[in-house]
Amino acid sequence: MRSEPALRAFRGTTAFLWTEVLVQKNERLAMVTAMLVQSVILVFVYILNPGLLGVAFVGAILFSTFAMGQRVLNEAAYLRIDHKSIDFYLAGPLAPEAYFLGMSLGILVVYIPPVIVVGVLATLIVPLTLATGLLLLGLAAVLWVFSSSLGYVFSTFFRDNRAIWAYSSLFFNVFGVLVPVFYPLGLFPEALRPIVLLMPPSAAAALVQAAIGVTSLTGPQVALALGGLAVETVAIFLFAIYWARRTVRGV
């Protein structure tokens, strides 16, 4: 029965997903504010340079799934610190992996509807083919996996909720807004491009920009962006799975 422990690790995911959806369902304003940064940027781009609106829409979608990691970070820390949810849920049969995944999926379910609206609008503005559309969707999903895993891991390092808000918004804005996610990679200093191609949100944006012909990437640049994104996402996801179990028990 070698596969049994692996399966057991995810038992309870759906149940905890549902718990998280119920917990979040009353936070309608939060669902709207989750789209605030993206919407404001779209308005600014529309006013300042309507030609870049397509790129900005791509950025808005990628940023939206990336920013879900911030919700996971805040939520995981809040429930653990204020509600003792680890003691309550994980000193029991619910697997820590299921707790982490259920929480992340629950946040995805609750926060995805406005992103779909932006996505539908994007199809009107960005010249997406089936292939580039699927690429955008896939990369948005990859960013969700990356940032939710990172958010969960980060959440375990805090003892106090107040400290988190500052750090998490700094982190998600620097890696999601400052770097070229909403604007073309070509506008970013050339010497620093390899660095932003190694950061998942800007790597994903560059790949979609290249696919829709807004940015031109060399072969090595594509390899760097794609390879970095794949390795980083798989690594942080596997680490989060390991870490979720590791951190049930304090030292």
Partner 1 sequence: MTETALASVDLRKVYHSRGAPAVEALRGVTMEVRRGERVALLGRNGAGKTTFLKIASTLLKPTSGSVALFGIDVVAQPDRARPYIAVVPQEGKPFFHLCPREQVYTYLRARGLSRETAQSRTAESLERMGLTEVADRLSITLSGGQRQRTMVATVIATEAPLLFLDEPTIGMDPFARRDVWASLRALTQKGSTILLTTHYLDEAEVLSDRLYIVEHGSVLVSGTAEELKRSVGGTLKVTLANGASQVDRFRSFGECVTDGANLTVVVLPHRLGELMELAVRSQLTATVGPVTLEEAFLRAVGRSIDEE
Return residues touching partner 1 (CB under 8 A): 11-12, 15-16, 18-19, 22-27, 79, 82-94, 98, 102, 245, 248-251
Nearest Cα to Cα of residue 57 among 214, 198, 193, 196? 214
N residues, the chain: 251
Please give the backbone phi and psi of residue 76, each rounded to the nearest 5 degrees, phi first. -60, -40
- Please state the closest distance from residue 93 (CB atom) to partner 1, in A: 4
Nearer to partner 1 (CB atom), residue 95 or residue 203: 95
Task: Give CA–CA dist 202/177, Å, rounded.
Answer: 9
- Please state the closest distance from residue 167 (CB atom) to partner 1, in A: 19
Nearer to partner 1 (CB atom), residue 25 or residue 138: 25
Q: Are 185 and 196 in contact (CB under 8 A)?
A: yes
Nearer to partner 1 (CB atom), residue 28 or residue 235: 28
Nearer to partner 1 (CB atom), residue 132 or residue 247: 247
Nearer to partner 1 (CB atom), residue 48 or residue 251: 251
- Please state the closest distance from residue 71 (CB atom) to partner 1, in A: 14
Nearer to partner 1 (CB atom), residue 46 or residue 88: 88
- Please state the closest distance from residue 171 (CB atom) to partner 1, in A: 24
Q: Are 135 and 64 in contact (CB under 8 A)?
A: no
Task: Give CA–CA dist 165/207, Å, rounded.
Answer: 30
Task: Give CA–CA dist 176/247, Å, rounded.
Answer: 28
Other C-beta atoms closer than 10 Å to the C-beta of 28 total 10
- Cβ-Cβ contacts under 8 Å for 214 (sequence gap 6 or more): 54, 55, 184
- Please state the closest distance from residue 23 (CB atom) to partner 1, in A: 5
| C-alpha atoms less than 13 angstroms from C-alpha of 174 in its C-beta half-sphere | 7
Task: Give CA–CA dist 94/15, Å, rounded.
Answer: 9
- Please state the closest distance from residue 244 (CB atom) to partner 1, in A: 12
